[in-house]
């Protein structure tokens, strides 16, 4: 699974609010719908995505499925994401000269900015 996809899935505002509620208590779709003031269909769609990444799971209680956060799985996903981020090289020192592959564009942009700054004096 792609780390970026998982982070995107759990940080989408409605899904994040769902997770916050589910950290406190297990809820069925109807209860989540009422708490968030969105349709049951919308809750179901969000839960489908969270289940896809195995962040939540359902437990049948009577006729209803109550959802819970898989804290161990979520913790593992977040640790994996952090590990992935830490694999990138540390930030390089910023110098006054651009050394990227788009240097010609940077030079044009920088000279335009300098011109605008001089006109403002």
Q: What is the pLDDT of residues 11-32, one digit of tens each?
A: 999 999 999 999 999 999 999 9
Q: Is residue 14 part of a domain?
A: yes
Over residues 95-109, mean pLDDT: 65
Question: Would you say residue 115 lies in a domain?
Answer: no
- Answer yes or no: is 10 within a domain: yes
Cβ burial of 59 (10 Å; 0-12, 13-18, 19+) is: exposed
Total domains, the chain = 1
pTM, entire model: 0.69
What 3-state class would DSSP assign to 70?
Answer: coil
Nearest by Cα to 26 from 63, 76, 60, 51: 60
User: Quick one: pLDDT at residue 55?
Assistant: 94
Containing domain of residue 37, as a range? Answer: 3-73
Collapsing DSSP to helix, strand or coil, 85 comes out as helix
Q: Between the CA of residue 78 and those of 7, 33, 74, 82, what are the distances in Å?
A: 8, 26, 6, 6
> Is 8 among the domain residues?
yes
């Amino acid at each position: 699974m792609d780390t970026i996809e998982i982070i995107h899935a759990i940080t989408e505002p409605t899904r994040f609010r769902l997770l916050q509620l589910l950290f406190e208590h297990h809820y069925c779709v109807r209860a989540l719908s009422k708490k968030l003031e969105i349709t049951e269909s919308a809750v179901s769609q969000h839960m489908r995505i969270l289940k896809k990444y195995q962040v939540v799971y359902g437990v049948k209680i009577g006729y209803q499925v109550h959802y819970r956060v898989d804290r161990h799985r979520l913790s593992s996903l977040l640790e994996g994401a952090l590990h992935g981020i830490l694999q990138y090289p540390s930030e390089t020192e910023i110098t006054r000269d651009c050394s990227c592959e788009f240097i010609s564009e940077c030079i044009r942009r920088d000279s335009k900015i300098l011109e605008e700054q001089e006109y403002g004096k």
